[in-house]
Structures are given as structure tokens and as C-alpha cells.
Amino acid sequence: MTKWLEENTPKLVLAPSFVAILVFVYGFIAWTAWVSLTRSRLLPKYEIKGFIQYERLFDSPRWDTAFSNLFVFGFLFIAIAMILGLVLAILLDQNIRTEGAIRTIYLYPMALSMIVTGTAWKWILNPGLGLEALVRGWGFPDFTFDWLVNPDMAIYTIVIAAIWQSSGFVMALFLAGLRSVDQEIIKAAQVDGIPTWRVYTAIIIPSMAPIFLSAFIVLSHLAIKSFDLVIALTGGGPGYATDLPATYMYAMAFSRGDIGQAASSAMIMMMVVFAIVVPYLYSELRSKNG
């Protein structure tokens, strides 16, 4: 009996959460997939009608905008936040005196919710209230910074606000990575007279590959599920110029009573996530087993 318990306690303890995840994550993914193949409107229906919702989705100019915004936003956000985070981390790594204070300041935006970030940036970027009005008030009447109200540029304001929010966090990740590099190797390189920038590019950064990967995974899921930032900053506007798949899905499911359409957009979003996460999981699992 005791032996049986010893062997099976871990399984017993894990079983409830295993079942919960099975039902509430995978179960509902399957449910959404099912609904995305139906003509569900206000309430879900279960009669399968084929890929009509996906055809509607890819015929919709609004979804086109939302989907391409995801790539513009995702690429710029991830790339700039990682570069900025790395640069900040390297600068902080120079044994400066006030490191603790500066690190805290850069990390603070992470403590704010996206809604607060979005609202604050909405005011900062509003041409009549914020930056543009301020600089014009200083005596530059031709200064124009109207990205927030310009449908072609508005998506970049979301990139700016998201980078402001997250680059401090990326910096903290990288800083931890920089500190974990074996000091002996660095000292050896310094003894050999190798310039500092070469130490970084040839030794430290390559040895931080796992950190890059985790930062990338964290940032990319932030990008794909971005919703509150858009709602607070632009509300999807001007027009629907800053719609993202998540806001599109919300509008279809909750404002328009078009659940089938919402489900199909959710499935596409999930496929994008899988396209990023599956290769990562594969490489992780392979390196562990091998």
C-alpha cells in the first residue's frame, strides 16, 4: 500500500490540474474549432457547414488590415524591444554606481497595466494636447507629430507604447543573462587585449542564446494577444486602421453577434502562435532528449 502510494502520489496530485487543462484549454480549443466551421450567429450552433467562415474572414478588408497589422506590430515591437533592451542592459552592465536606481526606473513601466500605458500615451501623442501642442507652444508652429490620428501611421504609435512598456523587462532579462556569463572567460579575453565590443559580440552575446529565445517567446505572445493597449490607445481607429486580430475577434463575438466569424479568427490567431511556439518546443524537447 505504502509502496503504491509512493509510486502514484505524484500522478494523483497532478491529475486534477491535468484534467482541468485538458478540458479548459484543449477542450475549448476543440470547441472553438468546431464552432468556426458552423454558421453560428448570436448563440453557438453545432451543424457543420464547412469553411464558409474562413472564406468570409479572408474576404474581409478589415481582417486584412488586422492581420497585416499583427505582423507590422509584432515584428517592430519584438525587434526594437529586444535591441533596446540589450543596449540598455549592456550600458547598465558597466558597473555604474546608481545601477539599482536606474534599473528600477526602467522596470517600472512593466508594473503598469496596458490600459494605463495606453491612456497615458493617448494623451502624450494627441496632437491637440500632447507633444505636438507642446513643441508648437515652444515656438515651432510647423512641428507636426500626428501619428495617432493618421490612419497610415497610427499602428506605429501602438508599437511605441508597447516598446516603452516592455523594453525594461527585456533589459532585466538580458542583464541577468549578462551576469551569468562566466567571468573567467571575460577576464581571459581582457588579458589578451581584446576590445570590449569584441568581448560582447564574440563571447557574451552568443552565450546568451537561450535568453534571446525566452525574450522572443515572451514578447511574441504579448504581441499576438495585444488587445487592451489598442483599446486604450486608439480604440482600433482611426477607422479600423489599428485593429489587431484580438480586437477583431472581440468585435465579432461580443458586439456583432457573429460567433462563427469570431471563432474562425481565433483559430487563425492560434495557428500563428503555433507557428512560433512549435519549433521552439521541438528544439527544446530534442535537446533534452538527445
Partner 1 sequence: MKSYLMGAISGIAVVAATAAIAEPQAEVLHYWTSGGEAKSVAVLQEEFAANGGTWTDMPVAGGGGDAAMTALRARVLSGNAPTAVQLKGPAIQEWYEEGVLADISAVAEANGWADVLPDSIAGHMKCEGTWCAAPVNVHRVDWIWANAEVLKSNGIAMPTSWDEFNAAATKLQAAGIIPLAHGGQAWQDATVFEAVALGILGPDGFRKAFVDLDEATLTSDAMVAVFDQMRTMRGFVDPNFSGRDWNLATAMVMNGEAAFQIMGDWAKGEFMAAGKVPGKDFLCASTPGDGFLYNVDSFAMFDVDGDDKKAGQALLAKLVVGKNFQKVFNLNKGSIPARTDVPLDEFDSCALLSASDMAASSDNGSLLPSYAHGMALRGAQAGAITDVVTAHFNSDMSSADAVKQLAQAVANSM
Binding site for partner 1 (CB under 8 A): 41-43, 56, 59-62, 122, 126-128, 146, 148-149, 151, 154, 234-241, 251, 254-258, 261
In whole angstroms, give the CA distance from residue 34 to residue 18: 22
CB of 239 to partner 1, least distance (A): 3
Task: Please identify, using beta-carbon distances, which residue of 1 and 43 lies nearer to partner 1.
Answer: 43
Task: Please identify, using beta-carbon distances, which residue of 117 and 220 lies nearer to partner 1.
Answer: 117
The DSSP 8-state label assigned to residue 48 in this structure reads: B
Calculate the alpha carbon distances from 18 to 48, 131, 273, 285 in Å: 29, 51, 22, 20
* Alpha helix segments (H runs only) across the chain: 2-21, 28-35, 52-59, 61-92, 99-111, 114-125, 131-137, 154-180, 183-191, 196-199, 209-225, 228-233, 245-250, 259-289
CB of 230 to partner 1, least distance (A): 11
CB of 62 to partner 1, least distance (A): 5
CB of 100 to partner 1, least distance (A): 39
Task: Please identify, using beta-carbon distances, which residue of 120 and 217 lies nearer to partner 1.
Answer: 120
Task: Work out the number of other CB atoms within 10 angstroms of the CB of residue 140.
Answer: 11
- The C-alpha angle with vertex 144 and arms to 140 and 145, in degrees rounded to 5, equals 125
Closest C-alpha to 137, from 128, 126, 148, 146: 128
In whole angstroms, give the CA distance from residue 278 to residue 28: 19
CB of 123 to partner 1, least distance (A): 11
Task: Please identify, using beta-carbon distances, which residue of 78 and 229 lies nearer to partner 1.
Answer: 229
Task: Please identify, using beta-carbon distances, which residue of 85 and 236 lies nearer to partner 1.
Answer: 236
CB of 115 to partner 1, least distance (A): 13
Task: Please identify, using beta-carbon distances, which residue of 172 and 268 lies nearer to partner 1.
Answer: 268
